[in-house]
Amino acid sequence: MPRPPEYLPFDDRYDPGEPPELAAQRFYEVMRRRRSVRSFSDRPVSRRTIEWLVRAAGSAPSGANKQPWRFVCVQDPELKRRIRRAAEEEERAFYEGRATEEWLKDLEPLGTDPHKPFLEVAPWLIVVFKLAQDDDGGKVYYAEESVGIATGMLLAAAQHAGLATLTHTPSPMRFLGEVLGRPERERAWMLIPVGYPADDCLVPAHAVKRKALEQVMVVDRGGRA
């Protein structure tokens, strides 16, 4: 016989202390100022800070609450050097042939290239892994969606703390599991440098543009034509 689930009263509710319309706007005002940064300062960020970011990410919802993620936080200069070297090798192959013409054209306004010095300069690299299997060998569900949500929450937590991030996806990313000695069931999913932007940090104007609300939001008209 299946055991009935245990339930708890939901009494630790978050109250923003202001109407939702204001709270939602204030959050937007924080998030809209997030930029993907490719020029980092070497200003340190405490391990405690990174722990809070990972706690925030780990509070994400996930399929059957399996929490199919691992956040490997790298600060060791030698590991960062090895990650940079391997990432740049993949990126060279990408820019020099693997990428389609169309892809390269789409990247032009961002000004990206195979050089990734930020992988050594940023004080932390958070390598997000997706678990293909739970740590106990059990199944995971909607792992892609779950890791995506958790990573989005990590980015939001960093922004809220005044820290810059980059959603970096060197492809293929297999080398990350190898360099970091992770088990086979952990699949490298995203590489996120975390730190402060360099004083002279520039961001591509193209990346600042966002679609208008009307382009991304559709509200039903209550069945009226």
∠ CA 163-164-166, nearest 5°, is 145
At closest approach, how far in Å is the CB of 95 from ligand IYR? 7
Distance from C-alpha of 74 to C-alpha of 217, rounded to nearest angstrom: 38
Binding segment toward ligand IYR, per CB under 6 A, in 4-12, 105-113, 129-137, 209-217: 105-113
CA-derived radius of gyration, the chain: 20
Q: Is 112 in the site for ligand IYR (CB under 6 A)?
A: yes
The arrangement of strands across the sheet holding 164-165 comes to 69-74, 124-131, 186-195, 164-165
How many binding residues for ligand IYR (CB under 6 A)? 9
Helices (H), the chain: 20-31, 47-58, 77-93, 101-107, 118-121, 143-160, 174-179, 205-208, 213-216
At closest approach, how far in Å is the CB of 10 from ligand IYR? 39
Q: Is 66 in the site for ligand IYR (CB under 6 A)?
A: no
At closest approach, how far in Å is the CB of 110 from ligand IYR? 6
At closest approach, how far in Å is the CB of 8 from ligand IYR? 42
Q: Is 122 in the site for ligand IYR (CB under 6 A)?
A: no
Among 72, 84, 91, 124, binds ligand IYR (CB under 6 A): 91
The residue to which tokens 């520039």 are assigned = 202
- Cβ atoms of 158 and 164 within 8 Å: the answer is yes
Distance from C-alpha of 119 to C-alpha of 202, rounded to nearest angstrom: 17
Give Dmax (Cα) for the chain. Answer: 64
Binding segment toward ligand IYR, per CB under 6 A, in 1-9, 40-48, 74-82, 163-171: 163-171
Among 22, 110, 141, 183, binds ligand IYR (CB under 6 A): 110
Residue 66 or 94: the one with the smaller Cβ distance to ligand IYR is 94
The tokens describing 122, both together, are: 């940023």
Q: Is 107 in the site for ligand IYR (CB under 6 A)?
A: yes
Residue 82 or 168: the one with the smaller Cβ distance to ligand IYR is 168
Pairing state between β 124-131 and 164-165: unpaired
Binding site for ligand IYR (CB under 6 A): 91, 94, 107, 110, 112, 168-171
